[in-house]
A and B are shown apart, each in its own frame.
Chain A
Amino acid sequence: MAVDVRDTARAPETPFWLDARYRAIMFQVILLVLVVGFAGYIFYNTYQNLQRRGIASGFDFLGSTAGFDIIMHLVPYAASESFGRALLVGLLNTLAVAAIGIVLATILGFVVGVARLSRNWLISRIASIYIEVIRNIPLLLQIIFWYQVLGKSTPGPRQSIDIGGLFFINNRGLYMPAPVTEPGFWLTPVAFAAGVVATIVMHRWARARQMATGQQFPVLWTALGLIFGLPILVLLVTGMPFHWDYPKLQGFNFSGGMVLIPEFISLTFALVIYTGAFIGENVRAGIMAVNHGQTEASYALGLRPGPTLRLVVIPQAMRVIIPPLTSQYLNLTKNSSLATAIGYPDLVAVFAGTVLNQTGQAVECIAITMGVYLFLSLTTSVFMNWFNRRVALKER
């Protein structure tokens, strides 16, 4: 395909099939036709197959009665509820694992990333062994492994490990007291929200004042006071409008209180351990990317190692860390779908599993499941990109 460049330059009467612009258009038209044709072909086949086999289609099934129970539900749910409700339960269970997992994995990752760069030989060695081992073993295997270990190392309900009569650990999960609210409790969360808002305002004011006058303000202690002190104060003033519901051994199992089921614990644990190792590597790379001169300059200005890390190194490292951190968060959310291997009722297990099987409407169920994950991924990406831009703006 030797297109003679001099030729095209000299002769405007080049045949159109040799003109790059026409070829680009032709190529795209062909691609479009193929893709659209392929999609149409798939759609037509599916439609035909469903028709011929008399399989019901459409999304009406979301309203019909589910008829099965789910062990963990964050919103009220019973077998008499609809399939749509079951979808919500599964989605919330996925989000619960993802949210808790992301927070814990981030903390673990930062600790491990910093530990790996520690001058302490033992600490950095342990951190790097942890990272290498965990990153190189499939997550699914780890989830199943921890679930088995948890199942084998915990006693039956009647031999529960009793911690102060409040917490009980057995092979049905971790039981703990649950607060039951009474009228008037609503003031406490309101006070908490007010504390958070006040803290943000106070933080801005303190910074402005420091910029203007150089005076520092004890932001941390005031913030703690506002966020935790205020709600506690309100709680006391309103006369403690809640009581604790303690777990009690009744018949086979404990009843009352709250329970974290072993499936939830082992799934979250495995996800945190696994993702934490990856985040640790990202954090390390981020810190390494900050020029050592920055640290030295900071020391020269008289900052101690702690503030140096916090005020100089981490803010610059964050710019490097955030993009890979985003994909780790997305991975954790998607990886939570491996729950189905140990019977944790997440979105995939409940909706692409049980509901699909009860209704037989595979196309709809899989499409909804994929759509939900796609939506979660895209929203997380958009949010993290926004955050990334905010952090990056500080570059001067």
Chain B
Amino acid sequence: MKKLSVIAAGAALIAFAAGDAQAQATLDAIKKRGQVICGVSQSLPGFANPDAQGNWAGFDVDMCRAISAAIFGDAKRVKFVPTTAKERFTALQSGEVDLLARNTTWTMSRDVQLGFDFAGINFYDGQGFMAKKSLGVKSALELKGATVCTQTGTTTEQNLADFFRSNKMEYKVVAMEKNDEVLAAYDSGRCDVFTTDRSGLAADRTKLKVPNDHVILPEVISKEPLGPLSRHGDNNWNDIIRWSFFAMLNAEELGVDSKNVDEMKKSANPEIKRLLGVEGDFGKMLNLDNAWAYNIIKLVGNYGETYEKNVGPNTPIGLSRGVNALWSKGGLQYAPPIR
């Protein structure tokens, strides 16, 4: 009857905790829940951006949808959790999200020390700079003494330090937590330059007051291999993410897309047969349905389709394929065969 506060708090927590079951493999948990929980960027047009009705669209969002299609045969069973650069790793570590598909750079320390597994590189990127045209800057090497806006807690912040240090230039960094805040600071003139991955620069430029007043400088100062990642230790789950991505790449290579996928089922090409689950038990290997890849292609599309739809030259983002073209077309995207 007396002073029970601490107990009350404790009991409440335990009661909540008891509600759910013990440790489970991620896939089982997802199937039971009926949803994939996918950590995405808060608002990055072309990659992950909610519209006014809260419907998410973008390249990273399609990666999540593909996984949902592979598991459920329904691309809509995804709950999108917007995360800041700062929260994202704790959110994944703590199990708040099943995977991160969020412009996250694959680095050794993240892979090894933070306890994550990267499933692949679905976007080869590099860090660049954006400056106001009125400054008259042509190259990042002319940025001596500049004030640079960046998002805190990113590889961007560290690459920036490396770049200026190795070129023996002084600079000032204004680091903020949310991308929108950084962009607003840059737009209001707090900084001379804005830096992030070049894909992000193209996306963020569309969010400025007068996009055409700003120019993206030619230098690429880092390697930024971006890809989806999951917690270390559940290999089956990581395989599902990885092969969902590879299935999209293989589909593009084999010329299978969302429009012709039903006809392609009748194809004589054994590679296509294996991909679409006509031959072999590749879905079963992943503890999924054999039509897993068929569902991805049918409901979401192949790699090239999602690229063109979200960030390609015909979108406001306007990124050409560049290094993200298939290896057979001079790019870097190369998927191991399904065999």
Residues of chain A at the chain B interface (Cβ within 8 Å)? 27, 31, 34-35, 38, 41, 49, 52-56, 67-71, 78-80, 151-152, 156, 171-172, 250-253, 255, 262-263, 340-343, 345, 349, 353-354, 356-360, 362
Residues of B within 8 A of A354 (CB): 86, 152-153, 157, 175
Given the known interface contacts A54-B233, A69-B160, A360-B110, the answer about A343 and B153 at a Cβ–Cβ threshold of 8 Å is no
Given the known interface contacts A27-B2, A71-B175, A345-B175, the answer about A252 and B165 at a Cβ–Cβ threshold of 8 Å is no
Residues of A within 8 A of B94 (CB): 49
Tell me, yes or no, whether B189 is within 8 Å of chain A by CB.
yes
Q: Which has the most chain A C-beta neighbours within 10 Å: B10, B152, B177?
A: B152
Residues of A within 8 A of B176 (CB): 342-343
Instruction: Kindly provide the distance from the CB of A25 to the nearest chain B CB, expressed in whole angstroms.
Output: 13
Instruction: Kindly provide the distance from the CB of A237 to the nearest chain B CB, expressed in whole angstroms.
Output: 37
Can you list 30 A-B pairs, Cβ within 8 angstroms, ordered by A?
Answer: A27-B2, A31-B7, A38-B13, A41-B14, A55-B115, A56-B113, A56-B115, A68-B173, A68-B175, A69-B157, A70-B175, A152-B188, A156-B189, A171-B189, A171-B190, A250-B145, A251-B144, A255-B145, A342-B176, A345-B175, A349-B152, A354-B157, A354-B175, A356-B86, A357-B85, A357-B86, A357-B152, A359-B113, A360-B89, A360-B110
Q: Are B10 and A35 in contact, with the CB atoms below 8 A?
A: yes
Residues of chain B at the chain A interface (Cβ within 8 Å)? 2-3, 6-7, 10-11, 13-14, 23, 85-86, 89-90, 93-94, 110, 113-115, 135, 143-147, 152-154, 157-158, 160-162, 165, 170-177, 181, 185, 188-190, 192, 231-233
CA distance A354 to B3 in the complex (A): 39
CA distance A35 to B13 in the complex (A): 12
Q: Which has the most chain A C-beta neighbours within 10 Å: B85, B173, B232?
A: B173
Q: Which residue of B lies closest to A31 (CB)?
A: B7
CA distance A70 to B85 in the complex (A): 17
Q: Are A69 and B189 in contact, with the CB atoms below 8 A?
A: no
Q: Are B175 and A252 in contact, with the CB atoms below 8 A?
A: no
Residues of B within 8 A of A343 (CB): 152, 174-177, 181, 185
Instruction: Kindly provide the distance from the CB of B292 to the nearest chain A CB, expressed in whole angstroms.
Output: 26
Q: Are A71 and B146 in contact, with the CB atoms below 8 A?
A: no
CA distance A171 to B174 in the complex (A): 12
Q: Please list the 10 inter-chain residue pairs (A to B) with the smallest Cβ-Cβ separation, ordered nearest first.
A: A357-B153, A79-B161, A54-B115, A343-B176, A360-B114, A38-B10, A67-B158, A55-B115, A53-B115, A251-B145
CA distance A262 to B191 in the complex (A): 12
Q: Which has the most chain B C-beta neighbours within 10 Å: A41, A49, A262, A360?
A: A360
CA distance A282 to B90 in the complex (A): 42
Residues of B within 8 A of A171 (CB): 188-190
Q: Are B115 and A340 in contact, with the CB atoms below 8 A?
A: no
Query: Beyond the given A67-B161, A343-B176, could you list 19 further A-B residue pairs with CB under 8 A, ordered by the A residue number?
Result: A34-B10, A34-B11, A38-B13, A49-B94, A55-B115, A67-B162, A68-B160, A68-B161, A71-B175, A172-B147, A251-B145, A252-B145, A253-B146, A255-B145, A342-B176, A343-B181, A353-B86, A354-B86, A356-B86
